[in-house]
Amino acid sequence: MKKIALTLGLLAASVFANAADALNGTTWKTIDDETKQPRALVKFTEQSNGTLTATIQSILVAGEENACTKCEGAYKNKPLKGVTIVKNLKNVGGNKYDGGTILDPKTGKTYSLKGELAGNKLNLRGFIGVSVLGRNQTWIRAN
């Protein structure tokens, strides 16, 4: 009986250890800093290395879905739908995330990224160098 209990305990522990991140598969509304209106829907996907990416699923502002004109590389002049704006975000414990980058499609610039999941809100901070030199955004869960 002890062997069965031990085996079940180890099995349960391994399932929880390999469980997907809380952001994996969730969709979020990005909110414009100035207008406070939703701009896009982005979906998080956990990569095989455990990091998260977020890709634009749809644009919510008419006339802004066309092209990422200020983006560089593979996304230059491509439609915004399908652009991966968050890369390499890591869960650093609990509901806190760090080590990622975020692309601002308006400017084409990429910033360091950290954040915290708080219920139906995802509080993000994009910055250059040190976190003090950055700005906050709060995304709202869409699903």
Q: Does a structural domain hold residue 15?
A: no
* pLDDT at residue 30, as a whole number: 95
Could you tell me which of 107, 89, 109 has the C-alpha nearest to residue 99?
89
Mean pLDDT in consecutive groups of 10 residues from the start of the chain, 143 residues: 48 46 95 89 96 96 81 86 95 96 91 96 92 90 88
* pLDDT at residue 26, as a whole number: 96
* pLDDT at residue 118, as a whole number: 96
Cα–chain center distance at 77: 22
CATH code at position 72: 2.40.128.520
| 44/84 Cα distance (integer angstroms) | 9
Q: Which uninterrupted H or E stretch holds 128?
A: none
Look at the chain and report how many structural domains it folds into: 1
Q: Does a structural domain hold residue 16?
A: no
